[in-house]
Amino acid sequence: MLLLTIESSCDETAACVYSDTNGVLSNVVFSQIDLHKQYGGVVPELASRSHLQNIGLVVQQALDGAGCRLESLDAIGVVNEPGLPGALLVGVCFAKALALCAGKPLIAINHIQAHIFSSFLEYDVPFPHVCLLASGGNTALYLVHSFDDYRILGTTRDDAAGEAFDKTAKIIGLGYPGGPVIEKLASSINFYDDKRYPRAKNKTADFSFSGLKTAVLYDVVNRGFYDLRARRLIKEIPPEEKAQIASSLLNCVADVFADKLSLVYEAHPEIRAVTFVGGVACNKFLRERVATWANSQGISFFVPKPSYCTDNAAMSAIVAAHKLRNGSFAQEDFDIAY
C-alpha cells in the first residue's frame, strides 16, 4: 500500500509518501516560521498564500524523494480539519485536483487524530493508553482504546501550552516561536525552579495556561522592565533574569502535566502507556519530566522524534493507512471543517 499525504492546516506545508511495508519513504516540511516571525504569531492570510506558493513543490519533492510516481499511489490523504480555514482550503483543493487527475481515492484526515497516533510511526504503542497532546493550538488528554475509539478527557480552558510559551516569549522579547528559545534559555541555568509562578490546579483533567502569561507580565512590570500602558518592554531584561523566567515557566508546565496525568491515571488504572505528542513534546526537559512520571507509575512511555512532533504529513499517513485498510474514503464533495 502506497500513500501520499498532504498537510496545510496552519503554518507548515507538508507532504509524505508512506508505504505500509517500508514506512515513511519521504517526509517534506516547508516551515513558514520566518514569514510569521516578524508579526510574533501566525498571520492567517499570509499562511494561506505561502501554502499556495509552495504546495506544488513540496508534493513534488515528496514524490521524487520516495522515487514514486502518482500512478503508483493507492490513495491520497489530506488534512481537512481542524485548522485555519484558508490554509486548509489550499491543501484540500490541491489534493482534490490531484486525486481527480490521477484517478485516485481521497482520504480525509483529522489533524488532531494524526497527532494522537504520531507515536505509531516509530512504536507499537499498547492500548489502552493516554495521550498528552501539547501544541500551539491544543493541550489535551485523550484516552485511546484503538484508532477508532479515543475520547477526550480534558482540554485547555484557555491558552494551549505552546501558546503560553509563545505569548510569554513575546512579552519578554524572545521572538517567535517561544518554545525552543524558552527551552534554550532555561537549560542555561540547568532548569532551576524558583517557583515564582502559580501552578493552575483543579480537580478536573482540564488545563488552564492563560494565567501564566499574566503572571509573567506582572512579574516584569513589578521589576520595572515592562510598561503596561505602552504595552512594551521599557528596559532590556538581563539574560540571567530571562533564563529564570523561562526555567520557572517550564517547571510550572511540567508540574501541571504530571498533576493532570496523575488525575487521569487514578480514574483509569487500566492505562498501559502514556504518549506525549505535538510541538511542545520537542522539549527535552518536558519529555524527561513526563517520562519520569510514567516510570514512577510503572507504565510505558512513548514520544515521537521531534520532526514527528511538530506539524508534518507523516503522522497523517498513519491515520490514512488505517482508513485505507477500512475502505473509509472521503466523498467527492467533502469540505474543510474547522
Name residues whose C-beta falls within 8 Å of residue 314's C-beta, 6 or more positions apart in sequence: 5, 16, 18, 24, 27, 118, 121, 308
- Comparing CB distances to ligand KG4, the nearer of 2 and 280 is 280
| CA atoms within 13 Å, Cβ hemisphere of 257 | 31
60: left (phi over 0), alpha (psi -120 to 50) or beta: alpha
Which residues lie across from 251 on neighbouring strands? none
Name residues whose C-beta falls within 8 Å of residue 306's C-beta, 6 or more positions apart in sequence: 281, 282
| Residue 285 C-beta: closest distance to ligand KG4, Å | 8
- Comparing CB distances to ligand KG4, the nearer of 77 and 162 is 162
- Comparing CB distances to ligand KG4, the nearer of 133 and 271 is 133
| Residue 245 C-beta: closest distance to ligand KG4, Å | 14
- Comparing CB distances to ligand KG4, the nearer of 85 and 105 is 85
| Residue 278 C-beta: closest distance to ligand KG4, Å | 5
- Comparing CB distances to ligand KG4, the nearer of 256 and 324 is 256
- Comparing CB distances to ligand KG4, the nearer of 33 and 217 is 33
Neighbours of 99 (CB within 10 A): 23
Query: What is the sign of the dihedral through the CA atoms of 234, 235, 239 and 242?
Result: negative
Cell of 86: 484558508
| Residue 204 C-beta: closest distance to ligand KG4, Å | 23
Extended strands (E) in 1-84:
2-7, 12-19, 23-31, 75-81
In whole angstroms, give the CA distance from residue 125 to residue 232.
46
| Residue 59 C-beta: closest distance to ligand KG4, Å | 20
Query: What is the sign of the dihedral through the CA atoms of 262, 268, 269 and 275?
Result: negative
| Residue 88 C-beta: closest distance to ligand KG4, Å | 12
Which residues contribute to the site for ligand KG4 (CB under 6 A)? 10, 135-137, 162, 165-166, 177-180, 183, 278-280, 282-283, 310-311
